[in-house]
């Protein structure tokens, strides 16, 4: 891979993704797959003004070994130093750069009962810290290719060729394959902002989805909510891009207001395994029935993680004719696949989707209808014939999507 282009990508993540400020502490979380690129990111973060950059390495095979041999109570326990670390992060609020390269099948075979129980126990400890930090720092999730991930996407290629091919796809999808990705993202963010403004002027109270695959679904929207997309601001007014790539325009719907059935159009990678060919049926705002050709039990466990796990936290609109979908690549990775076409998310909603959210407490925002949960899991429902109609406050019906693409 061309090192100059990788350097441009690293600069994009530092200046546009995290958008690091002078003297700021940045934490980079990464797997062991691309250490040279991590070095580039660290250098570009310093060049952009970071005062300190810390790298925290992850390794998926070690996680699998821990779940295989360690006891559930051991994995669920938080040591004193871990609590102190959470406290420190809550006070210092470092910017976060997450570089994803995990194998979509990397935890296949793990004891899912044990895994779910451990996640649930640990989430009860981490959630108050996450809530306290929400909207108070910059963060960005991006990707680099791992060998196992590359082979999953391109099974007929040799490993090194597959990695190079995945690099090409990641850079293209991330709008980072040209001479000035930072400038390209400024233009992209401006286009998304204009689309958000157009949607917000409509005063929508619900969205209705229909597709020939069987999707027939209606979801209510909060009157106080707004559509967002691309870059966003934290409570200090710092503008950053939480996802690179990102093609979506999204909002958090009204918790408990969803009826009908939706069918997935891409596999869902969850807890290191793939859930495939599935449907979710809603009644009274909750997922009351799920079916899947592969890993249906895992899907059922997911929506039972807590009370909010069976309700929606996000509706996201992306044209079927999107740059990522037009690549014709199935990434088996939510960061990319969710930006290929329309998706929904079960679990936690986004408090910053409420207008003037900084005037309210988290409890008040949840009382308004922003869903709360320990999970937030996106799944794709966009199709080439998806129709979406918006209903306005006065009862008017507006065609939002036609034949899978924007109609406004």
At 349-387, the pLDDT tens digits run 999 999 999 999 999 999 999 999 999 999 999 999 999
Instruction: Tell me if 288 sits within 8 A of 301, measured CB to CB.
Output: no
Sorted by where each begins, the domain ranges of the chain are 3-181, 203-406
Please write the tens of the pLDDT for every residue from 268-310: 988 878 899 999 999 999 999 999 999 999 999 999 999 999 9
What distance in Å separates the CA atoms of residue 339 and residue 13, rounded to the nearest whole number?
18
What residues of the chain score a pLDDT lower than 70? none
Conformational region of residue 248, where left means phi above 0, alpha means psi within -120 to 50, and beta covers everything else: beta
Tell me, what DSSP letter sits at residue 104? T
Percent of the chain topping pLDDT 90: 95
332 alpha-carbon distance from chain centroid:
13
CATH number of 3-181: 3.40.1830.10
Please write the tens of the pLDDT for every residue from 253-264: 999 999 999 999
What pTM does this model have?
0.91
For 231-320, strand residue ranges (E) read: 232-233, 239-240, 249-251, 253-263, 268-270, 273-283, 286-294, 312-317
Please list the alpha-helical segments (H only) found in 18-59. 35-47
Pick from 266, 401, 238, 390: which is nearest to 333 by CA? 266
In total, the chain counts a number of residues equal to 408
Percent of the chain topping pLDDT 70: 100
What distance in Å separates the CA atoms of residue 42 and residue 38, rounded to the nearest whole number?
6
pLDDT for residue 274: 87
pLDDT for residue 272: 77
pLDDT for residue 95: 98
pLDDT for residue 173: 97
Burial class (CB in 10 A: 0-12, 13-18, 19+), 45: buried
């Amino acid at each position: 891979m061309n090192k100059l282009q990788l350097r441009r990508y690293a600069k994009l993540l530092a200046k546009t993704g995290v958008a690091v400020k002078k003297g700021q502490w940045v934490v980079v979380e990464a797997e062991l797959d691309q250490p040279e690129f991590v070095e580039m990111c660290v250098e570009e973060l310093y060049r952009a003004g970071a005062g300190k950059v810390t790298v925290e390495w992850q390794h998926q095979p070690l996680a699998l070994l821990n779940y295989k041999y360690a006891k559930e109570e051991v994995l669920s326990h938080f040591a004193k130093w871990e609590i102190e670390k959470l406290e420190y992060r809550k006070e210092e609020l470092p910017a976060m750069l997450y570089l994803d390269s995990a194998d979509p099948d990397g935890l296949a075979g793990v004891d899912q009962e044990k895994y779910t129980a451990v996640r649930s126990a640990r989430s009860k400890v981490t959630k108050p810290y996450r809530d306290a930090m929400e909207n108070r720092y910059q963060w960005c999730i991006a990707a680099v290719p791992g060998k196992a991930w590359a082979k999953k996407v391109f099974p007929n290629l040799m490993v090194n060729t597959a990695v190079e091919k995945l690099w090409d796809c990641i850079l293209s999808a991330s709008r980072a394959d040209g001479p000035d990705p930072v400038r390209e993202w400024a233009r992209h963010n401006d286009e998304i902002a204009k689309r958000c403004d157009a949607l917000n002027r409509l005063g929508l109270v619900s969205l209705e989805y229909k597709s020939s695959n069987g999707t027939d679904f209606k979801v209510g929207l909060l009157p106080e909510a707004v559509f967002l997309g691309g870059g966003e601001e934290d409570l200090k007014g710092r503008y950053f891009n939480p996802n690179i790539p990102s093609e979506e325009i999204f909002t958090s719907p009204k918790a408990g207001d969803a009826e009908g059935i939706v069918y997935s159009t891409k596999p869902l990678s969850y807890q290191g395994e793939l859930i495939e060919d599935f449907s979710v049926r809603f009644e009274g705002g909750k997922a009351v029935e799920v079916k899947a050709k592969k890993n249906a039990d895992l899907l059922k466990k997911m929506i039972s993680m807590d009370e909010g796990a069976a309700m929606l936290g996000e509706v996201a609109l992306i044209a079927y004719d999107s740059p990522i979908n037009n690549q014709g690549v199935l990434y088996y990775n939510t960061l990319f696949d969710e930006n290929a076409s329309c998706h929904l998310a079960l679990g936690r909603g986004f408090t910053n989707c409420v207008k003037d959210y900084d005037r309210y407490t988290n409890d008040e925002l949840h009382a308004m209808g922003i869903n709360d949960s320990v999970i937030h899991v996106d799944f794709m429902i966009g199709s080439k014939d998806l129709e979406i109609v918006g209903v306005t406050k006065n009862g008017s019906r507006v065609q939002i999507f036609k034949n899978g693409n924007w109609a406004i």
